[in-house]
Every structure is written in C-alpha cells, then in structure tokens.
C-alpha cells in the first residue's frame, strides 16, 4: 500500500548511507516530506536527487548531531520549511567501522580510553537525546508525533568488545521506553528498531564472516545478514498510523539472533 506516511514531515538522521539512506528512500516513496541529515552533504544530496526523481520531496541538512546546536538547527530548519515535525527516525550512529577513524573506540571496556568513551556516547546516545528533545517540543505542542530510534541488538545483549557502543545503544533503548511511558497520553509514540548484522558500511569489515556457512549460522539462525531496506520497512511500520497501538516496542530485526540468547 502506497502512501503509508503521506504528507508526514519526517526527519531522518544518518540519511547519507546504510539504514538511514534506506529509510530516506522508502519514506519519500511512501509520501513523506523527508528531511535527511548527516555529517556529509554530498551523499545526502545524491539521495535527495534519487528521491525527487522517484516523485518524492524534501530537503537535506548537513549536521554533526553529537553537537546540540547542530541538532537544534536541523529541527529549526525543518519547522521553518514545513511548519511542523510529524515523525523522527533517528538512525545516525557509528559502529565497528568507526575504529578505522578513531582508534580504540570499539574496544572492550578495560582498553577504552575515557576520551573514546565520551566520543562514542556523544555520537550514539547524546545525539538521540538531542534530536528527541528537539522534536518533542513541537510534537507535544501539536498533540501528535512518532519517534523511531534505531538502536541495535548490541544494546540488548552483552558483546565481547565495542562496550561503549553497546552501552550507548542500551541507553537509546531505555530512553525510548521512558519516552513511551511518559508521552503516550499526549499523543506521541516512541518505539525502537534493533537491527542485527546488516549489510552496511558500518560492518563491512566483518561481512566476510557470512561467506562461511557454519559461521553464518552461528551469527544468526537465518544464516545471512539483513538488508538496509528490511530495517527501513520496520521503521516505516512503527512510524505509520498502522502502528497506532505500538508504543515502547523494542523490535529486533535480526534474523532470530536474539531469540536464542
């Protein structure tokens, strides 16, 4: 069914690549007015051009969402352009590949320097707070809205490394639950999608693990990585009116990985 988020003003963070880019494409295709944001402008503009070529509409904003002033600017520019914010899909984060950019950022706790802890928490948890804080002012005033945070199954189970990443994603999950419990009567729903292994640049270094059938089956019962668009469809459902009674949902989209923990 087309038009599942027709005319909904939707901010999508991390829209330059991976799951965020898939959400940007899908929501535009389903009728939303999309505002994509991310650190790098070039991929955002490329994705906007694709969306517009397919009949979508929207704009893009370059921003570092670990900075509250940038997050506030994204919300302010959205409201200035379109008058409101109906949906937030917060997908922006860093993961395994960030260790190439920032050494020791994906280590275990004992070997994670404090500055790397603060760095990853800033990008993966503080940004989720900044964006939710910004849009809530407008959603609560309007008496309606939907927030979908993209966390990770790493926020649901313990991992042998990337402890800061796991902590941040766990924080996003519980922040989502807290918002769901607080704002439901005021018309704002909050839900969370928790991807498992997903074929994005974030985990490009470990995608070769799925080449071995035994290892692939160990990683997930379905024996394959997920696709960004599979995550985007979960976000679309939770953001749409089809999920009007879904609030505080923590949805693993992981091929069954968490089911056998």
Instruction: Identify the CA nearest to 124 among candidates 150, 85, 148, 153.
Output: 150
* 129 annotated active-site: no
Three state DSSP letters for 235-260: HHHHHCHHHCCCCCCEEEECCCCHHH
Output the CA–CA distances (angstroms, integers) from residue 47 to 20, 35, 40, 51, 86, in the order listed.
10, 11, 12, 6, 21
Q: How many CB atoms lie within 10 A of CB 130?
A: 22
Catalytic residue among 165, 183, 197, 218: 165
Query: 150 near 95, Cβ under 8 Å?
Result: no
Q: Find the distance separating the first CA and the last CA of the chain, reported in whole Å.
A: 35
Query: 191 near 244, Cβ under 8 Å?
Result: no
Between CA 238 and CA 248 the distance in angstroms is 10
Q: Which residues are catalytic?
A: 165
């Amino acid at each position: 069914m087309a038009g599942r988020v027709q005319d909904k003003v939707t901010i999508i963070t991390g829209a330059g690549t991976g799951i965020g880019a898939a959400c940007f494409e899908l929501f535009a295709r389903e009728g939303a007015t999309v505002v994509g944001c991310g650190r790098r402008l070039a991929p955002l503009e490329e994705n906007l051009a694709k969306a517009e070529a397919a009949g979508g509409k929207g704009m893009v904003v370059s921003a570092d969402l670990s900075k509250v002033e940038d997050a506030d600017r994204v919300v302010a520019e959205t409201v200035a352009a379109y008058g409101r914010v109906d949906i937030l899909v917060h997908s922006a984060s860093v993961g395994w590949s960030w260790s190439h950019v920032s050494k020791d950022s994906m280590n275990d706790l004992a070997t994670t320097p404090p500055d790397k802890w603060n760095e990853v928490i800033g990008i993966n948890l503080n940004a989720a707070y900044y964006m939710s804080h910004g849009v809530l002012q407008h959603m609560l005033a309007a008496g309606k809205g939907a927030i979908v945070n993209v966390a990770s199954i790493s926020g649901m189970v313990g991992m042998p490394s990337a402890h800061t990443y796991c902590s941040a994603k766990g924080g996003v999950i519980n922040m989502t639950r807290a918002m769901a419990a607080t704002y439901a009567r005021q018309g704002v729903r909050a839900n969370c999608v928790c991807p498992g292994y997903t074929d994005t640049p974030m985990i490009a270094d470990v995608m070769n693990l799925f080449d071995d059938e035994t290892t692939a089956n160990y990683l997930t019962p379905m024996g394959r990585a997920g696709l960004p668009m599979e995550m985007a469809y979960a976000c679309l459902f939770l953001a749409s009116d089809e999920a009007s009674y879904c609030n505080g949902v923590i949805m693993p989209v992981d091929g069954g990985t968490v089911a056998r923990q």
